[in-house]
Amino acid sequence: MAIRRASIVKDPTTMRPRAKRAKSTAPGDGARRDAVETNTRERILASATRLFAEQGFDGASMPAIAKASGITAGAIYKHFESKGDLLLEVVMRSFLSSPMFANSSERGNDATGLAHLAAAYTEPSMKLVRQLSIEVHLAVNRDEKVKQVLSLSNRAAIEQISAGIAKAQREDRIDPKLNPGFVARVFCIFIMGLVHMDTLLPELVGDPAWHEFVRERSENLLGLR
């Protein structure tokens, strides 16, 4: 799922377009300005990640995120159109930096690696991804854009997993009698259960025996031979 960079909109605190900055002709000014903008964006994402995880989508207001980032409430909208946009990018960045994504990238579209991905969700290092995944699903009922993007993302994930399963079936590594689409959907539901581990099964987070059990059950779920 690609998350596009938010476009510059009117400042909601004044409802007037921002005044254009005079163009500088000094050598290096453009590069310095870009570096400042990038640094500001990174501060916003870091603050949003912390506040979304601590306070949830509803509790973390845009003014609070802006204040934690050291900018004004209006200035945050130069980088993100809405809180939904910001949440989506925070979740994507957290996922891309996770061990699970690294494992997935190394294996490519190999369905036989899905069991290892499921087991990765039991690790302490995935806590932030688990927390933010829950917040995205809670935000679906409050932000239409989050709902649309999540729907597209889920559909794409199911299609990719289904394709990987069908490929493994042709290679006789997965039971060919199984419906790839059904297997992909039940696997995604299984992952959503693991997302709630910190609430339902906190004592099993990081447990090696549990990690191995989840991996083995996932292999059975996928019909691996």
CATH class, 90-222 region: mainly alpha
* CATH 1.10.10.60 location in the chain: 29-80
Tokens describing residue 104:
């997935």
What pLDDT score does 16 carry?
Answer: 36
Q: Measured in whole angstroms, how far is the alpha carbon of residue 74 from the centre of its chain? A: 25
- What phi and psi values does residue 5 have, to the nearest 5 degrees? -75, 135
* CATH 1.10.357 location in the chain: 90-222
Nearest-angstrom CA–CA distance, 188 and 192: 6
Which homologous superfamily is 29-80 in? Homeodomain-like (1.10.10.60)
Least confident range from 18-22, 31-35, 114-118, 177-181: namely: 18-22
Position 199 pLDDT exceeds 70: yes
Average pLDDT of span 117-126: 91
The residue type of 8 is: I
Is the model's pTM score more than 0.75? Answer: no
User: pLDDT tens-digit profile of 15-73?
Assistant: 333 334 444 455 555 655 556 567 899 999 999 998 988 888 889 999 999 999 999 98
To the nearest 10 degrees (0 to 180), the angle between helices 29-59 and 83-96 is: 100
What pLDDT score does 56 carry?
Answer: 87
What pLDDT score does 202 carry?
Answer: 96
